[in-house]
Amino acid sequence: MVGKSVSVALTGSGGAGAMTSGQILLDAASKAGYFGLMTRSMGPQIRGGEAAALLRISATPVSSLDDHYDLLVAYDWGNVNRFAAELPLAKTSLVLSDPEHGAVPDAIALFGARSAELAMKTLAAEVPGGRVNMIGLGAAAVLIGLPLEAVLSVLQDQLGRKGEEVLASATACLKAGAEAATKLPEVARLPPSKADGSVRWNISGNEAAGHGALKAGIKFVAAYPITPGTEVLEYLAPTLEKTGGVLVQAEDELASINMIIGGSFSGVPSLTATSGPGLALMTESIGLAICSETPITIVDVMRGGPSTGIPTKSEQSDLNIACYGMHGDAPHIVVAPNTIVDCMFSTQWAVYLAEALQTAAIVLSDQAMGQARNVVAKPADAPYVAKRRVAAPNAEGYKRYALTPDGISPMAIPGNPGTNYVADGLEHNERGTPSSQASDHHSQLDKRARKLEMFDYGDHWADIEGDGEIAVVTFGASTGPVQEALERIRAKGGKAKMISLRLLMPAQTKNMAAALNGVKKLLVVEQTHSEQFNKYLRAHFDLPPAVKVLSRPGPLPIRPNQIESIIADWK
Amino acid sequence: MVGKSVSVALTGSGGAGAMTSGQILLDAASKAGYFGLMTRSMGPQIRGGEAAALLRISATPVSSLDDHYDLLVAYDWGNVNRFAAELPLAKTSLVLSDPEHGAVPDAIALFGARSAELAMKTLAAEVPGGRVNMIGLGAAAVLIGLPLEAVLSVLQDQLGRKGEEVLASATACLKAGAEAATKLPEVARLPPSKADGSVRWNISGNEAAGHGALKAGIKFVAAYPITPGTEVLEYLAPTLEKTGGVLVQAEDELASINMIIGGSFSGVPSLTATSGPGLALMTESIGLAICSETPITIVDVMRGGPSTGIPTKSEQSDLNIACYGMHGDAPHIVVAPNTIVDCMFSTQWAVYLAEALQTAAIVLSDQAMGQARNVVAKPADAPYVAKRRVAAPNAEGYKRYALTPDGISPMAIPGNPGTNYVADGLEHNERGTPSSQASDHHSQLDKRARKLEMFDYGDHWADIEGDGEIAVVTFGASTGPVQEALERIRAKGGKAKMISLRLLMPAQTKNMAAALNGVKKLLVVEQTHSEQFNKYLRAHFDLPPAVKVLSRPGPLPIRPNQIESIIADWK
Amino acid sequence: MNAPCQLTHQDFKSDVKPIWCPGCGDFAVLSSVTKALADLGKPREEIAFISGIGCSSRIPAYTQVYGFHGVHGRALAIAAGVKLARPDLTVLAAGGDGDGLSIGGNHFLHACRRNVDMTYIIMDNEVYGMTKGQASPTTQPDWTKSKLTPEGTGISAVEPVRLALAAGANFIARGFSGNPNEVARLIYEGIQHPGFSFIQVLSPCVTYRPEEREWKNLVHPAEGNPSQVMAEAMHRLAGDDGFSTGVLFAGNRAPFKPPSRNVATVTDLERKFAS
Amino acid sequence: MNAPCQLTHQDFKSDVKPIWCPGCGDFAVLSSVTKALADLGKPREEIAFISGIGCSSRIPAYTQVYGFHGVHGRALAIAAGVKLARPDLTVLAAGGDGDGLSIGGNHFLHACRRNVDMTYIIMDNEVYGMTKGQASPTTQPDWTKSKLTPEGTGISAVEPVRLALAAGANFIARGFSGNPNEVARLIYEGIQHPGFSFIQVLSPCVTYRPEEREWKNLVHPAEGNPSQVMAEAMHRLAGDDGFSTGVLFAGNRAPFKPPSRNVATVTDLERKFAS
Ligand SMILES: Cc1ncc(C[n+]2csc(CCOP(=O)(O)OP(=O)(O)O)c2C)c(N)n1
Ligand SMILES: Cc1ncc(C[n+]2csc(CCOP(=O)(O)OP(=O)(O)O)c2C)c(N)n1
Ligand code: SF4
Ligand code: SF4
Ligand SMILES: [Mg+2]
Ligand SMILES: [Mg+2]
């Protein structure tokens, strides 16, 4: 039973260490030359809440979860009901649990998978300081065919500094689990790794977004913590500090968005990161950035909504507010990364666009990418760095909001002599003086729209793959499962095209028309309740006559087989 | 030259009294049994800014400005450039100005209207305490054929309490102006009034919205002042106080929206009024009202955007934020009044809907309606009052967010014994306990959407008039000119249908399909820059193959002849 | 005598299991609240308990009264709305130092000033617990454990009681979650005192600020009787070490009550429009 | 010597015509600002002047420096961003009592506390001028001329300087627009003083508060020298009548400066991800 990839779920209630074991498994897979992905599902508790580490390991790159898990290792059953729906199992899957915690609960049993028992608690008790999760980890590694040396080597790296005893106890548990696993039923096994010695990156989406910001030249960040956006800031705080930038924790999101407007006005590329509730608080001032033409970038790591919603779980339902959440006519940029590593490129590109176009750019990431880790080939370098069109010293008759042909007006940076001006969120004339005159309003509205419409976004507006009369259009984290479904269809000789939109605003009407050329059936895939993406598509593009929509809210991720089966059934 | 209606613009710089004279003219028209409309255009100054009173007087009801003004009385030319574009004149129009202030400026002269001079300043100087605007008013009344007695009677009412001298001086000026007018060229004259003694109302859109709120049973208002929404509050403060309600001025919009959520949670129908920037600050907490199912109503009196924009002038560009401005999937109500008096009905209905559906309702009014006055037949009483489905005392096994068939769950009001619960903006189960489980999220999202979708909104979702293969679809203040244009087309034997949407959210897909049945050509009319309404229509409805869009930003109002000519030219 | 008035503090506890970490100070605050409510002797349905977002802000769900778990930072605005619309209700609000003093700072300021009759408890742990340990306005400038301020905030900490006094709160007290009976008494007195009552409760976060367990050795009763004069209280608080507990100020400003009469019907008002 | 340093206060005035009503106190504040800037002797391009929304907040456009006319209530946040990103600039912020203390209250609180080196002027007219005359936080409770509070607010007025002190401002002064030279001197000193400097300027609104013309008869110099110790200043301000002008407090807290070094390149950082 050697598959292309193997998927493993490790679950347990608080303190069981599911997350730690998942992390080690991913790192070990990476060490052994595999690619991998780990997402997590967590309860609301700060400490001691139930948690699931959801992994997929493969010899080739992976950017999506599979349809089901091949192996579920349950350290205990505490509160598993709360996320059982997130743990789909196939009949061939194996559920490994500790007899100590009783029978497999209904919510899991109903998948009809095979099950087996492993006395993890008893085994752990035999090792001084032994922990259940290390027993489970050892068993899981052996079951899926991951070399135990890789796991041991990661343990060494990570527990080494905690002292000999800790390491010895973990090692003993690992080996005990591995040993016990030899007596367990088989599960899907990893193919040999294709390790060629090339560099792998192990990165989370939130780190990637933060790093993309740095690569683009962000030097000033003001923000207010919020799950799941905080880790973007946690990455940026120390790295900015080391690279001559500054991160400041603001009193609230109203302050953070305005602080970055100030930072950017003063000439320094500036960014903030947040999640839905924070973004909502920022919209008034995002409008200010747009009207005053002050470049800023906002990373929104989406979580379940509305309101406080489900802070720890994912959804794509901030699409509406990101695209349409400003009052007045407020053209701006919305970029949606579509893989964990693309969080890096997309953020870097968004900063570049914000700066080049002197407007606000929103990066629409989500919890599923942000808090997941991916082991990938080292990503290529992108050439996008912040670069503004600036005014020359003592530029004659300087007009901050000059009506240039491409709509972009040279911006004077404080310190530049002879070009002082007052940036304004009131409608204004070319000089920046407030004006309520119809002609000034109209020409400035035209200019602010024109600069976005005329700009050349190159090929980055979407990732397009394949061909055929059937196309699937999607964005963000829903792209992974779409991509995989279409690969499977193609592998079976079918034809289908994927259009994953990266640039949501301004809507790329012409590009999309070209991409849809020849498409007869269109499947829209998104993770919202109200078909926000479908409505966005209808609003801006002419769609083929036959459209189906696969739209479902979080936190359940979309699975490749759902897409496959819709396409298969579509006559 | 007797027309159906006569349009008059009175303009002047600060202190000239254009507004006062316009107000008196409207009141006098009402006294004389006419219908009328007066909008205003103001500069940004607090005092002493240029101003235009823009009137239309008619023997039959009017709810839109005409294509042009028949008479422009300019008390001076100070800063007229700033709003000349808002003063369209026909060749037959008359421009009346004071030689004292020099020739007709180019911005006005380019309309090619006739012009005449009246030495208003000199005439006023002859009267002790005499004022130029009373001279102009007297002349205007005579020129358009409004009985001078009506004007005198209004003067008496309004200046009476200012003392004999003031009244005498105003009267003398009025008469001097009237006398002088007899020597001036003729302009369009009013037809005889059809006064039948029935009661007329003289009301502004902002008063109407406030009054509609009272009629619906609003008893608690918290708000923060903002132009042009403040007058809704100025109407409500004293009237609530007299009718046992309360209005409180909050520290900001974040406070005001949350205060009304608190007021409503405690069982008291609650409302706030604001404009774009304030609405933007409220969206996070509007999401809270939606998720916690706490009824609230927000009146947004739109002004030019984005950002601070043009606070004193109108636009319809908050459509996006009103419909899509919340993070997460946040179904709610958006109601757009389409005439000044309809601000009353629409607000009343919105409150009723918010309360019946336990959600947030946004009333999308605008400056053009809010700050304009209309003389109309006394509006009919509407039967809509706030009424919630509430929990019975000691209701057994009470679940605040019970999954009822129609999605509406009985709400327990503090004071009700045995049903205490905790309202929550975190996703929750039926009891209200926070839950991050996929099934709870999905069923609560379904419920919150279902209750809005299943509700019977009756005929109020749109105003539909006429028939034919051509239809014009519009909303809000753009309705008046559409209505008039289509009446003209019909008067010439043409056929055309008007669909003015009142209920924007939830989008009435089925009703709209029925309304569009048989329509081959659709003209979309809206006052935005980025075709927000057209995109809204595309997103939610299947439109006929041929669609044209008349979309232009504020502050210029849409004129009936623009619509007429698009339809006339549409082959 | 009224049956519901016999409720014990257990009757004010709900069956919802707190998400709090074992050992969190907030458990004791919960007990203090339910005890104060039992002492108050009012039926459960006449009490409204409002909060924002944070570990501490979860508290209403663990009680048995009408509650509102709002959004981050806005508890006091919701609470004011409840009290102004329904003066008959007893209104409590609670939440964290971040919720109340960082994002909610403006409402705190204006609640003190507006003096609506309600009681506000800040469960102060000098950290953002819920978002996994960032500095709050009450965090000392040299605390370096947050990943967002790895060299400390460098900003001097807010002293909430001093701020409340300057802003105009009418009753100010400080308690420590380790002394739940005293906290219960302070809450009870705060509720009884007219106008806006503010109670800071030092409530350790054992997960992100384990060193706060030491607070039990630092707290001490405030000396003397509570001041009733603001200037006097200011002077007194100027020398305060942040660990004195008890009532610190009890003013006598009349609570805010907006004017409201019942002298007209909606139809009466329409005369204004008619002509 | 540097040519731009010869600029006169006229050189700091722009040609944009103020929208202010004739007689508005803000005209004099404008003169005071340009005079202070001329005295400062810095080139125009090294100064950033930030404001919110209100009559008073229009002031940057009437000067000749880099300016930002932001949204209502957020001037201090923009100003902090400017200074933190560009410590080389001299940063001024200004606006109304509504802008700064009502909607902007939280930023005021945290600006005082954070102590970024900048100077903030509140042009206090005890009213919302721009929106045609509503009560602000500094309005007395019995002012009945607003249509929104026709029986007065019933809420005691904020004393901005006292609040600033409690919140931690490092330099606090009060001036009167009728004494523009004194105001110019206070602004100049505020700029020179390290950290967050707050200057309240009593600036009458002749349109909605004509009675404020009387202020000229009420203002008087503050007695003695400015305190440098917070407790002392608190004591002093407890007895203040709101009309004493001059420097009221000049503290010596070090300005906030977030850590920033230059010890790594972005490529260096990537080692962390590689395996
Ligand atoms: C608008 C918004 N911003 C940020 C957050 C994230 N958030 C949730 S709780 C919290 C702070 C919690 O700290 P505190 O109020 O002190 O409560 P504690 O958890 O310490 O009891 C933050 C920043 C949010 N929910 N909403
Ligand atoms: C978010 C938002 N809310 C409300 C307003 C309306 N508004 C503009 S200025 C102002 C208050 C002005 O008062 P103040 O700050 O004291 O300035 P002044 O006009 O008195 O100088 C208000 C409420 C706004 N522009 N934005
Ligand atoms: S994180 Fe801290 S404040 Fe939150 S529950 Fe745990 S101990 Fe309590
Ligand atoms: S309204 Fe008042 S504050 Fe505004 S410009 Fe006029 S006098 Fe000055
Ligand atoms: Mg805290
Ligand atoms: Mg003011």
Q: Which amino acid is at A113?
A: A
Per-residue model confidence (pLDDT) at position C2? 44
Q: Of all protein residues, whose CA lies closest to atom 10 belonging to ligand 1? A: C54
Average pLDDT over residues A329-358: 98
Asked if residue D261 belongs to a domain, the reply is yes
Report CB contact under 8 Å: A243, D259.
no
Total structural domains within chain D: 1
CA of B338 to the centre of ligand 1 (A): 42
Per-residue model confidence (pLDDT) at position B259? 98
Chain C residue with CA closest to A222: the answer is: C148
Joined tokens for residue D12: 């700091």
Domains of chain B by residue range? 5-181, 202-377, 389-455, 461-568
Is the pLDDT at B48 greater than 90? The verdict is no
- Residue A47 Cα: closest atom of ligand 3: 6
Per-residue model confidence (pLDDT) at position D4? 47
Indicate which of B202, B204, B236, B259 best probes the interface with C, i.e. most C CBs within 10 Å of its own CB: B259
Per-residue model confidence (pLDDT) at position A529? 98
CATH topology of domain A5-181: Pyruvate-ferredoxin Oxidoreductase; domain 3 (3.40.920)
Joined tokens for residue B315: 């636009």
Is the pLDDT at A307 greater than 80? The verdict is yes
Helical (H) or strand (E) element with B374: strand B373-377
Per-residue model confidence (pLDDT) at position A2? 66
ipTM for the whole complex: 0.98
CA of B231 to the centre of ligand 2 (A): 15
CA–CA gap between residue D21 and residue D34 (Å, rounded) = 20
Given pLDDT bands bounded at 50, 70 and 90, which one contains residue A455?
very high
Q: Would you say D46 and D83 are in contact if contact means Cβ atoms under 8 Å apart? A: no
Q: Would you say B94 and B160 are in contact if contact means Cβ atoms under 8 Å apart? A: no
Is the pLDDT at C4 greater than 90? The verdict is no
Per-residue model confidence (pLDDT) at position A269? 98
Q: Of all protein residues, whose CA lies closest to atom 1 belonging to ligand 3? A: C129
- Residue C25 Cα: closest atom of ligand 3: 8
Average pLDDT over residues A334-341: 98
CA–CA gap between residue B464 and residue B499 (Å, rounded) = 5
- Is C167 an 8 Å CB contact of chain D? yes
CA–CA gap between residue B530 and residue B9 (Å, rounded) = 30
State pLDDT tens for residues A21-75: 999 999 999 999 999 999 988 888 888 788 899 999 999 999 999 999 999 999 9
Counting Cα atoms < 13 Å in the Cβ hemisphere of B255 gives: 26
Q: Is the dihedral of CA C145, C150, C155, C160 positive or negative?
A: negative
Distance from CA of C27 to the nearest CA of D (A): 30
Per-residue model confidence (pLDDT) at position A406? 98
Three-state secondary-structure class, residue C95: strand
- Is C259 an 8 Å CB contact of chain D? yes
Distance from CA of C21 to the nearest CA of D (A): 30
Say what angle helices B532-540 and A532-540 make with each other, to 10 degrees.
120
Chain B residue with CA closest to D70: the answer is: B308
Cβ atoms within 10 Å, residue D223: 8
Q: Is the CB of D127 under 6 A from ligand 2?
A: yes
Joined tokens for residue A257: 């968005």
> Do A5-181 and A461-568 show the same overall fold?
no
State pLDDT tens for residues D167-197: 999 999 999 999 999 999 999 999 999 999 9
By C-alpha distance, which of A349, A403, A344, A354 is closest to A379? A344
By C-alpha distance, which of B140, B2, B174, B150 is closest to B71? B140
CA of B257 to the centre of ligand 3 (A): 29
CA of C211 to the centre of ligand 5 (A): 14
Pocket test for ligand 2, best of D29, D128, D132 (most atoms within 8 A of CB): D128
Given pLDDT bands bounded at 50, 70 and 90, which one contains residue B49?
confident
Contacts of A227 in chain C (CB under 8 A): 130-132
Helical (H) or strand (E) element with C187: helix C180-192
Indicate which of A258, A394, A398, A416 best probes the interface with D, i.e. most D CBs within 10 Å of its own CB: A258
- Residue C26 Cα: closest atom of ligand 3: 8
Ligand with minimal distance to D94 CA: 2
State pLDDT tens for residues B320-346: 999 999 999 999 999 999 999 999 999
CA of A277 to the centre of ligand 5 (A): 19
- Residue D100 Cα: closest atom of ligand 2: 15
Three-state secondary-structure class, residue D48: strand
Average pLDDT over residues A496-515: 98
Give the pairing of strands A51-58 and A5-12.
Answer: antiparallel
From A91-105, A461-475, A479-493, D227-241, the region with the lowest mean pLDDT: D227-241
Among B233, B234, B307, whose Cβ lies nearest the Cβ of D71? B307
Tokens 């409608």 correspond to A427
Percentage helix, strand, coil for chain C under 3-state DSSP, each rounded to 5: 40, 20, 45
Say what angle helices B276-292 and B253-265 make with each other, to 10 degrees.
30
Q: What domain range includes position D172?
A: 9-274
Q: Is the CB of D198 under 6 A from ligand 4?
A: no
Contacts of C151 in chain A (CB under 8 A): 241
Report CB contact under 8 Å: D70, A425.
yes
Q: Is the CB of C129 under 6 A from ligand 3?
A: yes
Report CB contact under 8 Å: C128, A225.
yes
State pLDDT tens for residues B96-125: 999 999 999 999 999 999 999 999 999 999
Domain A202-377, CATH number (from 3.10.180.10, 3.50.50.60, 3.30.1330.60, 3.40.50.970): 3.40.50.970
Q: Which amino acid is at B439?
A: S
Three-state secondary-structure class, residue C212: helix
Q: Cα dist. B46→A196, B304, B430, B519, D141 in Å? A: 73, 18, 52, 48, 24
DSSP state for residue D53 in the 8-state scheme: S
Chains that touch A (3 or more CB pairs under 8 A): B, C, D
Q: Is the CB of D26 under 6 A from ligand 4?
A: yes
Q: Would you say B173 and B209 are in contact if contact means Cβ atoms under 8 Å apart? A: no
Say what angle helices C180-192 and C26-40 make with each other, to 10 degrees.
50
- Is A253 an 8 Å CB contact of chain C? yes
Q: Is the CB of A280 under 6 A from ligand 1?
A: no
Is the pLDDT at B444 greater than 80? The verdict is yes
Chain D residue with CA closest to C108: the answer is: D106
Q: Is the CB of D99 under 6 A from ligand 2?
A: yes
Per-residue model confidence (pLDDT) at position D137? 98
* Region for A468 from its dihedrals, namely left if φ exceeds 0, alpha if ψ lies in -120 to 50, beta otherwise: left
Tokens 């009373």 correspond to B134
State pLDDT tens for residues D85-115: 999 999 999 999 999 999 999 999 999 999 9
Distance from CA of C34 to the nearest CA of B (A): 15
Given pLDDT bands bounded at 50, 70 and 90, which one contains residue B82?
confident
Contacts of C145 in chain A (CB under 8 A): none
How much of chain B exceeds pLDDT 90, in percent?
93
Distance from CA of D211 to the nearest CA of C (A): 25
Is the pLDDT at D275 greater than 70? The verdict is yes
Cα B84 to the chain's mean position, in Å? 23
Q: Cα dist. D231→B45, C239, C241, D194 in Å? A: 44, 8, 14, 20
Given pLDDT bands bounded at 50, 70 and 90, which one contains residue B266?
very high
CA–CA gap between residue B422 and residue B433 (Å, rounded) = 8
Among A48, A223, A249, whose Cβ lies nearest the Cβ of C135? A249
Pocket test for ligand 4, best of D202, D208, D215 (most atoms within 8 A of CB): D208
Q: Of all protein residues, whose CA lies closest to atom 1 belonging to ligand 4? A: D129
Q: Would you say C274 and B27 are in contact if contact means Cβ atoms under 8 Å apart? A: no
Contacts of B541 in chain A (CB under 8 A): none
By C-alpha distance, which of A299, A284, A389 is closest to A330? A284
Per-residue model confidence (pLDDT) at position C5? 52
Is the pLDDT at C228 greater than 80? The verdict is yes
Q: Would you say B106 and B94 are in contact if contact means Cβ atoms under 8 Å apart? A: no
Report CB contact under 8 Å: B49, D71.
no
Average pLDDT over residues A308-312: 96
- In three-state form (DSSP H/G/I as H, E/B as E, the rest C), the secondary structure along B134-157 is HHHHHHHHHHHCCCHHHHHHHHHH
Per-residue model confidence (pLDDT) at position A118? 96
By C-alpha distance, which of C69, C228, C249, C81 is closest to C160? C249
Asked if residue C119 belongs to a domain, the reply is yes
Q: Cα dist. D261→A232, A233, B571, D158, D258 in Å? A: 20, 18, 69, 41, 10
CA–CA gap between residue A208 and residue A210 (Å, rounded) = 5
> Which DSSP string corresponds to A463-501?
EEEE-SSEEEEEEGGGHHHHHHHHHHHHHTT---EEEEE
State pLDDT tens for residues B353-394: 999 999 999 999 999 999 999 999 999 999 999 999 999 999
Joined tokens for residue A533: 């993406």
What is the domain-level CATH number for residue C159?
3.40.50.970
By C-alpha distance, which of D106, D90, D115 is closest to D251? D115
Q: Would you say A117 and A73 are in contact if contact means Cβ atoms under 8 Å apart? A: no
Given pLDDT bands bounded at 50, 70 and 90, which one contains residue D1?
very low
Q: List the CATH code of the domain at B461-568.
A: 3.40.50.920
CA–CA gap between residue C273 and residue B340 (Å, rounded) = 13
Is the pLDDT at A80 greater than 60? The verdict is yes
Report CB contact under 8 Å: D21, B46.
yes
Contacts of A15 in chain C (CB under 8 A): none
Chain D residue with CA closest to C163: the answer is: D166
Strand blocks (E) in chain D: 47-51, 66-69, 90-96, 118-124, 171-176, 196-202, 220-221, 244-250
CA–CA gap between residue A445 and residue D203 (Å, rounded) = 36
Asked if residue D265 belongs to a domain, the reply is yes
Distance from CA of D102 to the nearest CA of A (A): 14
State pLDDT tens for residues C185-217: 999 999 999 999 999 999 999 999 999 999 999
What b-and-e string marks burial along B427-458, b requiring 16 or more CB atoms within 10 Å of the CB?
bbbbbbbbbbbbebbbbbbebbbbbbeebebe
Q: Would you say B398 and B412 are in contact if contact means Cβ atoms under 8 Å apart? A: yes
CA–CA gap between residue D232 and residue D228 (Å, rounded) = 8
